[in-house]
Amino acid sequence: MIRHKISIYGYIKDKEILLIIPLIVAALYINLGLIPLKGDEAIRAVVALEMMLSGNYITPTLTGEIYLNKPPLYNWILTGFFRLFSSNSEFMVRFPTTIFLILYCLTIFHWVRKELGKQIGILASLAFLTCGRILFWDSFLGLIDIAFSWIIFLNFMLIWQYNRKAKYLSLFVISYVLTAAAFLLKGLPSLVFQGITLLVIFVQNRNFRGLFSWKHLAGITAFLVLTGTYYLIYYFQNPEFLDNALFRLLTESTDKSAIGNGIQKTLLHLVTFPFELIQHFLPWILLVIFLFHKKILLRVLRGNFIRFCFLVLLANIAVYWLSPTTYPRYLLMLMPLAFVIFIYTGKFHAFYKTLHYRVVLYGFIFFIIGLSLLSFVLPLFYSSRIPVSNLPLKVGIVLMLNGGLFYFIVRPSTHTGLLYAVVLVLLIARISFNLFLQPYRQSTDLLTSCRKDAIELANGTKGIPLYYMTDTITIHNVYYLTRERGQILTFNNVPVAGSFFIVDDTLKAGTDFRRQFSMHVPYQYKTFYAGKFEKQ
């Protein structure tokens, strides 16, 4: 008789990795473009579209007005994808996010494998991919943060490598080149990560003087050349707006810090921040329990790489712990460091069969059972509310995947361990989410009605000038109007013969305004109208 004992850690073979890859592809790409764009992803898309339509790739604009909140690099990336694939659909706005996420996971695997072995590298990269915030939120949004976080994490690893080899010129120059790329994505946070990480590693090495060397100056010079070249060209195009652009980059960061929020909100955030981390980065954040064992923690921290990850994590996360306006996506470059530490420390708990290990073991068993049942019940729940095409086939797929998961766990002589089963059940849950919950959201969300109205308005006014006269207009609607019409939508408060105007109140527009289209606006729960003025 073959005895089988379930354990958290195990080994995964190359052929088993090949079975996981199709699940990852299905999890990331099924119905990726189904839900309408919203919030910041609509801003990214509109700015990129306006660059293409105007032919001006130096000065970002939003509804024809200079856009100062973010540097232009991510807009350049988006326009590159738009042109390469001849598409500017919702799918294409989000597609770069998935590419950067895959590159990010491969980067985690590469560096962790070199330092801690192949299995820890695989687990750390899969844990990041399948943590709640990534798998069920950021991986299907067209935002900057995953690309930015990948560059920052890569910078951490290169600083570690060149410091260990005492190649300080390479350390400073290459790290500042990456910092420049990150700066052109998101501004000042890149400099904060760079400064804190360099300080941590040089203080740890008792080489504080190294920060004042000519090699560091060479790195700073590389940063200034790369970023300065862009802003010099920007200045030649917009000499009166350069100071505004630089000042806006500063306020984008300080407005989110304690400086811009006051002491009361900051103190509240100090208390709630750890609970927000737990909420957004389940289930892998629960492995933090492994750190609450003094002897094992001290033993783990003897390793140079783990100690580096630990210090960089603590030093950088402190900035966000003190910043009340912190969103979980701002922490995506730090969570792989945490997961590496947790997973590696857990190996020692597994060896000694500690109480911590048993708590995680049984907790994850219940998690796998509960989530697998949920991913099967979810289709039945939502299919009773909206019609689902090929329902039996889709339910059968989810059921088959869950059956394969349980065989994977309980088969005799398995070596793969429970953590890989957690990865699989999370991927299956995301696939079920894609197949059933995403269509439900698409059919019930107000954004879908807004998209429909905006596309009808765009198609009904093609070839005719269109302006908006409202004080504000939702960027979600602007994206669809700009995409469908192939023209930049701008503000104009002076009636023009033969032109269409979007207004938020026909009474304010006057008695000579004749509306022809209506358009729902998300978040404001109101209706805008488009029409012409009879008198000019």
Give this prediction's pTM.
Answer: 0.93
Residue 527 pLDDT > 50: yes
Strand partners, 468: 491, 502
Q: What is the DSSP string of 355-392?
A: HHHHHHHHHHHHHHHHHHHHHHHHHHHHHTTS--TTHH
Helix, strand, or coil (residue 272): helix
Residue 345 pLDDT > 70: yes
Residue 173 pLDDT > 80: yes
Q: Read off the pLDDT of residues 431-454 as tens digits, 9 standing for 90 and up.
A: 999 988 888 888 888 899 999 999
- pLDDT value at residue 499: 93
Could you state, in order of their start, the residue ranges of all structural domains in the chain? 355-444, 447-533
Separation of alpha carbons 74 and 142, rounded Å: 10
By DSSP bridging, strand 61-62 and strand 65-66 are antiparallel
Residue 249 pLDDT > 80: no
Residue 286 pLDDT > 60: yes
Residue 274 pLDDT > 90: no
Residue 4 pLDDT > 60: no
Q: Read off the pLDDT of residues 76-115 as tens digits, 9 standing for 90 and up.
A: 999 999 999 999 999 999 999 999 999 999 999 999 999 9
- pLDDT value at residue 400: 83
Helix, strand, or coil (residue 189): helix
Percent of the chain past pLDDT 70, that is, above it, reads: 93
Structure confidence at residue 399 as a pLDDT band (50, 70, 90): confident
- pLDDT value at residue 530: 94
Residue 477 pLDDT > 80: yes
Percent of the chain past pLDDT 90, that is, above it, reads: 65
Residue 372 pLDDT > 90: no
- Chain centroid to Cα 291, Å, comes to 27
Residue 413 pLDDT > 80: no
Residue 384 pLDDT > 70: no
Q: For residues 119-142, give the mean pLDDT.
A: 96
**What is Dmax (Cα atoms) for the chain?**
92
Structure confidence at residue 3 as a pLDDT band (50, 70, 90): very low
Higher pLDDT, 262 or 432: 432
Mean pLDDT of the residues in the chain: 89
Q: For residues 232-257, give the mean pLDDT.
A: 76
Q: Return the closest-CA partner of residue 346 out of 410, 417, 282.
A: 417
Separation of alpha carbons 3 and 18, rounded Å: 27
Record the tokens describing residue 380, joined without a space.
Answer: 């039945």
Separation of alpha carbons 348 and 355, rounded Å: 12
- pLDDT value at residue 33: 94
